Every structure is written in structure tokens, then in C-alpha cells.
A and B are shown apart, each in its own frame.
Chain A
Amino acid sequence: MEQKKMRPMAVGRTGEKTDIRGTGVKKAVRENPEISVILQESAVVVSAFYQAKIGREVFAEMLRQGLGGLAEEFETRGAVIGHIKASLDSQRTEMFSVTEREVYVKSSGEDELCIRLAAIVFMVDPQLAAALVREMFADLDRKIRK
């Protein structure tokens, strides 16, 4: 069977910004969401990495609805979904401090969330697929701000 090469269509960009203290040290900043698209044979493969600060349970429900809406968007455009998968990792940091006897606990109160998404879809324009994924995350952004 003939082996076909993967063709990169677009890659996520990594920006740079100068350290605010003027040290000249530049810190890499990931776009949020960071989205890339490749073609693998006839499949369009969209990968995304997204970060948010919000309660995990609340966001999980928002993501569930967002993924359902994304699937609907693909299907109404006649695309065939291979799969759309996402993982949700969360981290919450709490600081404990004591100087005498009493222990103080501080928490940011929000979870730091990392979402990794992989959407593999057939019969869809690669740029449209990326745009639909980007719009889903933009909609999540709007809901978080509310």
C-alpha cells in the first residue's frame, strides 16, 4: 500500500513578550487556544490546547455542551466525524503557612484547567474545521467571562 505523507496546513503560533521589568528576558507565550491542523490521508486532524481558570465542575459541563455543539456544526455541514476527544486536567494550589500555632490556608479559589482536544473529521475543509474549533473555545471564553 502506498505510504502517504502528512501535509502540514497550519501550525499554532507562539508569541513572545518582553519581561515587564525590562530585564530583556523574553518569555514564550502560548496562544490560547493554540490550534493546529494537519491532513492525514483524507482526514482533517485538528489539535488544540486551551487553558482556563474556573471551577472544574462548571467548566466540564460547559465543555460537554461545547463539544456537542461542535459535533452538530460538523454534521450540518455534511462532514463525517471520526472522533472528537478532549482531556481536562485541573490543578488547584493551596498555600499553608504557620508562624506561631495557627495555620493559615490561602487558595486562589479557582482551578487552573488545561484542555487538550483532538478532532478528526472527514469531508470538511481544513480551515473551516479549525475555525469551528476556534469558535467553540471563543464561546467558552465568553461564558467564563460572564
Chain B
Amino acid sequence: MKLLILGGFLGSGKTSLLMQLAHYMTDTSGGTALYRVVILENEVGREGVDDRLLKSSGYNVENLFAGCACCTVGGELVTAVSAIEKDYGPDWMILETTGLAYPGLIRDNLCHALGKESRICTVTDASRWARIKIPMAELLAGQISCADTVLINKADLAGEETLEGMEADIREMNPAAGVRRVSALEEIPTEIWDRVLGRTDHGTEENAPDGGGPYG
């Protein structure tokens, strides 16, 4: 079972992008699904909201509520991941973190506890970047610095100058990450999902800091 940690700040569009990614991974229109996928949804409050949307869309979703997987429910996370592998044996497990999580801590926890490596995709919000980058600087840097791929979501809502400034900020935090502009309202090119999943059979170099995308 491979692990993908989908992180990013609150309201950045993680769930919307996850819906598209899960569709891409499980679509059977070509005969068979690319992968068997289980989604683990982590929400910090007592009431789950995102999991209800994903479940009603037909995806296999497990929950981890009332705490953040990078700290307060770190132990429960390890138990949940083990149970998912044992009970479902999927090709991929995607963990959608809370918007407050540091994905690097989750990756370290899973590596130490289960010996499993994870890929990290961090979603950022172009429409709010200028407003939150200073008050949320530590959290944003923590979420971006560990990512294999950074998706600049809501790129359609920001001007070119904003996007270029945002890319520069992100590259300063993480020069090695692949950075792509997307809009969850539109279909994401499969090449971007392949990069998120670390698939290199499209001839692209994994994790090249390449910017651009549909809005590049």
C-alpha cells in the first residue's frame, strides 16, 4: 500500500482536488480502475463535514476525527493506517489532513511506526495567499517545505503577478518541490496527478521545480 498525504491550509481546496484525484485513480471507464483507493479523512472538530461529501460520492472513506493527525491523534493515525492496509489491502491510501496539520510530521510518524514512506502533496490557495502568508507564515512554510508537489489552487482567481510572487515564495520555502497551478473547478490534467503520485512513465522528471500548468 502506497501512501499519499494531501495537506494544505484551511479552505485551500484539498477536498475538491481529492474528489478529482480519486475519480482519476478509480475511474473504470477504460475497463479497469488505475488503482484501488481508500481515503482517510482527518478533521479536527467533533463533527465531520468533508467525509460526508466524499462518502456520498461513492468513495471508500475512513474517518479520524476530533484531533490533528500530526499531533493529538498521531497514535490513532498509525492504528487506522494499519487497519486500512489489513482490512482493505488497497493500492493507495490517501490521507486528507486537517488544514492545521504539518504533513512532514505525519510522514515521519508513519515512517517510524510502520516503516512506510509517503508522498506529500500540499495544496495552496492563490486567492488568499497575499492575505494569509504573513499571519500564517509558520504553518504555511511547515506545510510547503516538506512537500513533493505543491498545487497552487484557485489559480483562475489570481492575476499573473500574484501567481508569480506566490511561486517565488513557495520555491523559497521548498526549492525541490514540483509546483503547478490548477483550478479545482476545472479538470486537472492527468500529467499533474501522475506527478502528484510520483508516476514517471510520462517521461517527466520527478519533482522538478517546474511551475506552470494550465495557468502557466
Contacts and interface: CB of A to CB of B under 8 A. Distances in A.
A89 B50 CA distance: 13
Interface in B85-111: 98-100, 102, 105
Given A1-B102, A82-B9, A82-B11, A116 B74 contact: no
B100 A85 contact: no
Nearest to A88: B52
A6 B71 CA distance: 9
Sorting the interface of chain B by its residue count into under 10, 10 to 19, 20 to 34 or 35 or more gives 20 to 34
Interface stretch (B23-31, B39-47, B183-191): B39-47
Given A80-B132, A80-B135, A82-B100, A120 B44 contact: yes
Given A6-B72, A40-B44, A118 B99 contact: no
A140 interface: no
A66 to B, nearest CB: 15
B49 interface: yes
Q: Which of A1, A5, A36, A117 has the most CB of B within 10 A?
A: A1
Given A1-B105, A43-B100, A118-B43, A82 B67 contact: no
A82 B46 contact: no
Sorting the interface of chain A by its residue count into under 10, 10 to 19, 20 to 34 or 35 or more gives 20 to 34
Dominant secondary structure at the A interface: strand
Q: In terms of DSSP, what is the predominant structure of the interface of chain B?
A: loop
Interface in B41-88: 43-50, 52-53, 66-68, 70-72, 74
A118 B66 CA distance: 11
Nearest to B71: A3
A13 B142 CA distance: 36
B71 A38 contact: no
A130 interface: no
A116 B49 CA distance: 7
A40 B100 contact: yes
A38 B195 CA distance: 37
A93 B132 CA distance: 45
Interface in B14-39: none
A51 interface: no
A70 B48 CA distance: 19
Contacts of A81: 11
